[in-house]
Structure 1
C-alpha cells in the first residue's frame, strides 16, 4: 500500500473508539455482522462515524472532491433543469446529503437569476457536522435567502416538489456477496484482535431473491448489492404526491456492474485523496462507497409507480441543460478566471474524468416528461 498520511492523535483516538464499538456489536451478534452493518457504523455511528464526527471530508484538505466543490457551473446548470420543474409542483426543493452547502448556494444563486426561486429549500442530512457547515456556507453566501432554507431531521410525510441528490446513493450501506459459486453473504468478524472477512449463507430472503437473479456464477466473484438504495427510492416514491427526483452518482447498469471482468466489485475507500482497498483501514476516518447499480434503482422507481423520465451520463445532461451557454458568459480575456473555470468544467464533462462514469437518472410523478437535461443521449435502453 502507498504510504498514507498519518492521522493526528485525536482522530486516531476516535477511530480506535469506533473500532471498539464495532467489535462489541460483533461480539453480541454471534461473532459476525453483515458488511452493510459494518459500513453503516463506520460511516454513521453517532459522534464516531465518518459522516458523524468532525473530520474534514470535502475539497483539497479533505478526502475527495465532488462536482459542486469542483465548479459552480455544476449547480448553476442543474438549476436550469430545476427551474423547469419547480413551477409544476408545490415549489419546494429538497436536497439529500448537501455536503458543505456549496451545491445549494450555486442552485439558489442561479434560480434567483432566473426568477424561479423555490418556496422552500429543504435539506435532509444525517451529519450534524455537515449541517453546521451548510448553515455557515449559506449564511455567508446568501444571507438574504436564509428564510427560504430549512433543515429537516426526518423525512416529510409527503413530498410536493423536486428532490435532488448528488453522490447520495453511493454512500448508502451495501451488502457484499461472494459467489462460491453459489452466492454467500460476506460479513465481518474479529480474528486475532482485528476485523476479518467471514462468509455465511444468506439469511435475508430479500437479499437471497436479488442474488438468485444476478448473473455471476463463477467461483470467487465478489460484488455488492444495495438494498438500501432500493428502499430509499421506494420510500421517496411512496411519499411523492407530485414532483420529480433527480439523482447523480457514479455507477453502471446491471450488465456492466456484474460484468465478469469486474470480479472484485466496486467497494472502495477514500482517505486524503487516496483510494484504499482495505475497508477496515482507520474506521471512521475513511469514506466507504460502492458504485450504483442503476438498473436496480430504475426498477425500484418504476415498481413503486414512478415514471422513469431518463438516464444519461453527467456530461450529456450538463450539455443538454446548457453548461456551455453559461461558460460563454465568461470573458476569455480575463485569463485569471477563465482558464481555471473552463478546466474545472472540462473535468465535469470529460469521459476520462467525471463525464462518463457519473450518471443522471430522473423520475417523475404528475409532471411533464420533457426535461431539458434529458433531451438527447438517453440511455434507458441500456438499463
Structure 2
C-alpha cells in the first residue's frame, strides 16, 4: 500500500475517506496521480482509447463545423479544448483550419497533466501557436467555443448506496494494509441536494455515483466564456436511464492496458478511473450558469448532421492500406450503429446567443 494513501486515510476523520477524495488523489495527485505520471495512457500502448485517437477525421470535422458556426454567429474564432491528452485532436483540428479555413485562430488548451502538456508542445508548437494553461480558472474570459471529450467522466465522484431503506455514503478505509469499503449514514448536504435536484430515488441495494465536482467545472466553463458555445462529448445516462435495473451497481470502473477493472481500489495511481456522467445534471447545472441547452444527440448523429458523409472519398483502390481507404474506414467506424460513437453523446449549449438549429447544421 502506497505510503501516501496510508497517511491520507490514517489522518482523516474516523480513518475513512470518500470515494471522491480517493479518486481525486489516485488520478490527479501531483506526484502519485495516474494522469500526472510520465507514461503513455492513450492509444494501443496505453490503457484506453478515445475517439480522436482512432483517426484525425474527428478533429478535422470539428474544425469545419466550428468555422460554420462562427460564420453564422459572428463568433470570434477562439477555440478552447479542456483535457487535450496527447494533442492528437488539436493537431487534426489545427491542420484542417490551416489547410482549408485559414482565418486567424486562437487555440487554448486547458491541461492539468505536466506529461500531457509536454506531449502537446512536442506535437504542436513547431507548426501551430497554442496557449496552454493548467486550470480552466486561468483562462482569460473570451468569446468562442469550449470543447471537451471525455472530460466529465474522469472527474472524481462520491458513491452512495441504499441499504435497509437508508442512504449511506460508501467510504474507504485501510485494514491489513489493504483498502476496503465501509458504509456510513449519509450526512453530506451537497449529496442530498443533488438527489433532490435530480429527483432520484434509489432502490434497495442500488449504488450511484454523485458528480459534485461537475458543478465546479461547469462554473469554471461559464466564467471563462463571455459569449459562445460549449460542446461536451462523453458517455453517460439520463436520470431515467440510471434507474434501469442494469445500473443497480453504478458505473465506476478502472481501465488498465485496455482491460476493465471492477475493483478500483487495486493499485491506486496505476489505472484510469471513469464513470458514466449524469447528463440531466450537466444540463441542469449548465442552465443555472446561463448555458442554454441547444441539443443533446448521439455522437454518430452529430457527425452525420455536421456533414461527415461529405468526407467519404469515392474511389476504387484495391489497396486496403492506402490513405484514402484508411480514412474511409475511419469515417465508417465513427458512424456505424455499433461503433464507438453510438456510446457517446454530444451536448451543445450556448451562452448569450440565440442560435437556431440551422445555425449549427446545414439542412
Q: If the length of structure 1 is used for normalisation, what is the TM-score?
A: 0.87
Instruction: Pick closer, same or farther for the CA change 1:265–1:119 going to 2, 3 Å.
Output: same
Cα distance in 2 for partners of 1:123, 1:323 equals 25
CA deviation profile, 1:293-335 (whole Å, cap 9, x unmatched): 1111011111221221110000000111111111227764553
2:55 aligned residue (56, 67, 71):
71
What does 1:197-212 align with in structure 2 at a 5 Å threshold?
197-212=181-196
Query: Could you tell me whether the CA contact under 8 Å between 1:312 and 1:374 is conserved in 2?
Result: no
Aligned to 1:223: 208
- How far 1:240 moved relative to its partner? 1.9
- Which 4+ stretches in 1 moved above 6 angstroms? none
Aligned to 1:179: 162
Greater CA drift, 220-229 or 199-208: 199-208
What does 1:262-281 align with in structure 2 at a 5 Å threshold?
262-281=247-266
Q: Which runs of 5+ in 2 are unaligned?
A: none
What does 1:1-383 align with in structure 2 at a 5 Å threshold?
19-30=2-13, 31-86=15-70, 88-139=74-125, 143-145=126-128, 148-154=129-135, 155=137, 156-180=139-163, 181-212=165-196, 213-328=198-313, 332=317, 334-337=319-322, 338-370=324-356, 375=361
Query: Could you tell me whether the CA contact under 8 Å between 1:223 and 1:264 is conserved in 2?
Result: yes
Aligned to 1:3: none
CA deviation profile, 1:336-371 (whole Å, cap 9, x unmatched): 234433333333223323222100001111335235
Cα distance in 1 for partners of 2:325, 2:314 equals 13
Query: Could you tell me whether the CA contact under 8 Å between 1:169 and 1:249 is conserved in 2?
Result: yes
Cα distance in 1 for partners of 2:75, 2:360 equals 19
User: CA RMSD, aligned part only?
Assistant: 2.2
Q: Which runs of 5+ in 1 are unaligned?
A: 1-15, 377-383
Cα distance in 2 for partners of 1:93, 1:231 equals 21
Cα distance in 2 for partners of 1:187, 1:117 equals 52
Cα distance in 2 for partners of 1:330, 1:363 equals 38
Cα distance in 1 for partners of 2:337, 2:24 equals 31
Q: If the length of structure 2 is used for normalisation, what is the TM-score?
A: 0.91
